[in-house]
Amino acid sequence: MRKALGTAGLGLAAALLAVSPAPAQQGPIKIGEINSYTAIAGFTVPYRNGWTLAVEEINAGGGVLGRKLEVVSRDDGGKPEDAVRIAGELVGDQKVALLAGTFLSNIGLAVADYATQNKVLFVAAEPLTDAIVWQKGSHYVFRLRPSTYMQAAMLAEEAAKLPAKRWATIAPNYEYGTSFVANFKKLLSARRPDVQWVGEQWPALGKLDAGPTVEALIEAKPEAIFNAEFGGDLIKLVREGTTRGLFTGRTVVSALSGEPEYLDPLKDEAPSGWIVTGYPWYAIDTPEHKRFLAAYQNRFHDYPRLGSVVGYSTFKAIAAAIAKAGSTDTQKMIAAMDGLPVETPFGGIVFRAIDHQSTMGAWVGKIAVKDGKGVMVDFHYDDGKNYQPTDADVAALRPAK
């Protein structure tokens, strides 16, 4: 009798264990987040606000799969080697379900390589390099923001309408800059075979020597200039170029320069007439953006920057992927990310299965000065799905599976 009761008791205990959730499943879903908060605060602090708002909204709605999201965030200081070390700590010590974030292209590539080698999902938020989804693309890596190719295609479309034939370029000498210039030259030349490339300037990131650089551009005698400088280097270029007359009688087509992160510090020195990609948050009249703007201003008592939209959209995408997967299993989340639709402040986007690039687009317009500050005018939204290479081109670029 005792033996029978004991056997029955063990069976009951086993049954209870089978229907009871594992204790670990009751805890939060940890997401490891890495970014250059001290090195590039102008973009990354608003980016952090964006993902903070998204996580708060998700958790207020019950979380994902009945569990809260918990972000374990770390600062890479703008150093790829630190980012890789941090990624290892987040995965090994913190047991995060996936990695997200990064800003600079070289750091994004370093974390992407770590994720691929260690079979961890990585959702790259900001790095724009094409390589992260193409030449060095991986089963484990997805990217939110429109790439250098996509934004170069948008700007080349506008540049091709200009009468200018002689073009010069300036960009920071690292992956982002070299990729942007190569794509812009290729795409503009395809539209305008009569274009001549008469000069290139490649200052080190964050170390623009504006005087000699501007003089070198003037000596090349371009009719138009393509710029991919940003942050403090952009401010130096604008001020020195204005003083020396570089922009007089010349059109400038400039990547990112309409983003408030880079436009706002210039105030009334903003270079009127430049054709740019950016974020005119003050004039976007769509229901989804109005909802985001109201929520962001209510939460932070500040206006959003483009980084805010990137952070918000990245974590909304992560939550959507986990919900679709029904699990935090890496392979199930990756399967869910392929073709995943996500609603963002810019409207609906999709993560393409072929290259893991989202179809998020960008706002293209011109800079003007109003009320003592730079703004974007005459702008329109270019849907990213219309500015990506063909599937055949992507397949040729990506490594074989």
Domain boundaries, the chain: 23-147+285-360, 149-283+363-386
Q: Is 160 exposed, middle or buried (0-12, 13-18, 19+ CB in 10 A)?
A: middle
What pLDDT sits at residue 5?
Answer: 38
CA–CA separation, 177 and 363 (whole Å): 20
Q: Which residues pair with 168 in a beta bridge?
A: 199, 225
Residue 147: both structure tokens together: 């790439």
- Cβ-proximal residues to 142 (8 Å cutoff; 6+ apart), any chain: 121, 122, 123, 124, 133, 337, 351, 356, 357, 358
Is this model's pTM higher than 0.85 or not? yes
Determine the pLDDT at residue 81: 98
CATH (one of 3.30.43.10, 3.40.50.2300, 3.40.1710.10, 3.40.190.10) for 23-147+285-360: 3.40.50.2300
What amino acid occupies position 41? Answer: A
pLDDT at 399: 84
Q: Rounded to an integer, what distance in angstroms lies between the CA atom of residue 151 and that of residue 183?
A: 9
Amino acid 400: pLDDT: 72
Query: Cα 334 from chain centroid?
Result: 19
Q: What pLDDT sits at residue 2?
A: 41
Question: Strands (DSSP E) along 66-213, which ranges?
Answer: 69-75, 98-101, 122-124, 141-143, 166-170, 196-201
Average pLDDT over residues 67-95: 97
Give the pair of three-digit tokens for residue 120: 């961890």
- Mean pLDDT score across all residues of the chain: 93
Look-up: residue for tokens 């007089």? 248
Mean pLDDT (whole number) for 282-307: 98
Q: What is the pLDDT of residue 42?
A: 87
Q: How many other β-carbons are positioned within 10 Å of the β-carbon of residue 193?
A: 7
Per-residue pLDDT, 332: 98
The band of 267, judged by pLDDT with boundaries at 50, 70 and 90, is very high
**Rg, the chain, Cα only:** 24
How far is the C-alpha of 155 from the C-alpha of 191, rounded, in Å?
A: 12
pLDDT score at 88: 98
How far is C-alpha 230 from the chain's CA centre?
14
Query: b vs e for 320-334, b when ≥16 Cβ sit within 10 Å of the residue's Cβ?
Result: bbbebbeebebebbb
- Cβ-count burial of 335 within 10 angstroms (0-12 exposed, 13-18 middle, 19+ buried)? middle
Q: Residue 165 has what pLDDT?
A: 98
pLDDT digits (tens, 9 = 90+) for 347-375: 999 999 999 999 999 999 999 999 999 99
Identity of residue 324: K
Nearest to 47 by CA among 73, 86, 68, 67: 73
Q: How many helices (H) and strands (E) does the chain have?
A: 13, 14
Give the model confidence (pLDDT) of 4-44 as tens digits: 434 444 343 343 333 333 444 479 999 999 999 999 888 89
Write phi, then psi, for 199 (nearest 5 degrees). -175, 150
> Where does 149-283+363-386 sit in CATH, by number?
3.40.50.2300
CA–CA separation, 388 vs 382, rounded Å? 11
As to burial, measured by CB atoms within 10 angstroms (0-12 exposed, 13-18 middle, 19+ buried), residue 100 is: buried
Q: Give the alpha-carbon dihedral of 262, 265, 269, 275, to 10 degrees.
A: 20
Instruction: Say whether 149-283+363-386 and 23-147+285-360 share the same fold.
Output: yes
HSE (CB half, 13 Å, CA atoms) of 268? 3
Q: Please, are residues 258 and 376 in contact by the beta-carbon 8 Å criterion? A: yes
> What's the per-residue H, E or C state across 327-391?
CCCHHHHHHHHCCCEEEECCEEEEECCCCCEECCCEEEEEEEEECCEEEEEEEEEECHHHCCCCH
